[in-house]
Amino acid sequence: MTTTPLRIVHCVRSPIGGIFRHIRDLATAQSEAGHNVGVICDSSTGSEYDNRLVEELRPHLSLGLARFPMQRQLTFQDLSATLALYRHVRDLKPDVLHGHGAKGGAYARLIGTTLRLRGNKVSRVYCPHGGSLHYDPNRFEGRVYHLLEGILGRLTDGIVFVSDYEAAAYESKVGRPKAQTRMVYNGLTPEEFNPLEVGTDAADFLYIGMLRDLKGPDLFIEALYNIRLKTGTAPSAHIVGEGPDEARYHKMVASLGLEKAISFHGALPAREAFKLAKTVVVPSRAEAMPYIILETVAAQRPLIATRVGGVPEIFGRYADRLIEPGHIGKLTVAMETALTAPERMSSDARELRSCLAETFSVELMSDRITTLYQELRGLAPGEPSTAGANKATSSRPRTQSVYARSSNR
User: Per residue, what are the HEC states of 278-317?
Assistant: EEEEECCCCCCCCHHHHHHHHCCCCEEEECCCCHHHHHHH
Write out residues in the chain with pLDDT < 70, as ranges: 1-3, 73-76, 380-409
In which region does residue 251 sit, left (phi positive, over 0), alpha (psi from -120 to 50) or beta (all else)? Answer: alpha
- Report the 10 Å Cβ neighbour count for 6: 20
Rounded to an integer, what distance in angstroms lies between the CA atom of residue 172 and that of residue 400? 11
Three-state SS for 184? coil
- Cβ-in-10-Å burial (0-12, 13-18, 19+) of 174 comes to buried
Interacting residues of 41 by C-beta distance below 8 A, sequence separation 6+: 11, 12, 13, 14, 15, 20, 54, 65, 66, 67, 70, 104
**Which pLDDT value is given to residue 380?**
60
Calculate the CA 10 to chain-centre distance.
Answer: 15
CATH superfamily ID and name for 190-353: Glycogen Phosphorylase B; (3.40.50.2000)
Q: What's phi and psi for 322, nearest 5 deg? A: -75, 150
Calculate the CA 22 to chain-centre distance.
Answer: 7
Rounded to an integer, what distance in angstroms lies between the CA atom of residue 69 and that of residue 63? 19
The domain ranges of the chain are 7-187+361-402, 190-353
**Which pLDDT value is given to residue 394?**
36
Rounded to an integer, what distance in angstroms lies between the CA atom of residue 342 and that of residue 277? 12
Which architecture characterizes domain 7-187+361-402 according to CATH?
3-Layer(aba) Sandwich (3.40)
Name which of 342, 363, 354, 335 is nearest 297 in CA terms: 354
**Which pLDDT value is given to residue 203?**
99
Q: Do domains 7-187+361-402 and 190-353 have the same CATH topology?
A: yes
**Which pLDDT value is given to residue 3?**
66
CB 146 within 8 A of CB 137: yes
Sheet with 237-240: strands ordered across: 262-265, 237-240, 203-208, 277-282, 303-305
Angle, alpha carbons 173-178-181 (nearest 5°): 85
What are the pLDDT digits (tens) for 167-180?
999 999 999 999 99
Rounded to an integer, what distance in angstroms lies between the CA atom of residue 73 and that of residue 146? 14
